[in-house]
Amino acid sequence: MLGLRSLNIFLLALLFLAMSPALASPTPTEGKMTNAERFRRGLPPNMPRKLFEASVAGSARKARAS
């Protein structure tokens, strides 16, 4: 009986080790959460995808006061 019990414990430990990386990995949608979902979880908002860059042509079109 001792051999069967140690085999069961060994198989249980092996199963736990096989499943531990899957349990410890973050959720795949964590990087794709909306800001509302992030606020609900107490996280800071996402960074903007594309930061605003002012166009040089826009300032060239404006007339300067003389």
pLDDT of residue 49: 80
Q: Express each pLDDT in 7-25 by its tens digit.
A: 888 888 888 888 777 666 5
CB 38 within 8 A of CB 44: yes
The tokens for 32 are: 């794709």
From residue 4, give the alpha-carbon distance in Å to each of 11, 15, 29. 11, 16, 42
pLDDT at 61 over 80: no
Q: Give the 3-state secondary structure of residue 32.
A: helix
Q: Express each pLDDT in 13-59 by its tens digit.
A: 888 888 777 666 565 556 688 899 889 989 999 888 877 776 666 66
CB 50 within 8 A of CB 56: no
CB 16 within 8 A of CB 8: no
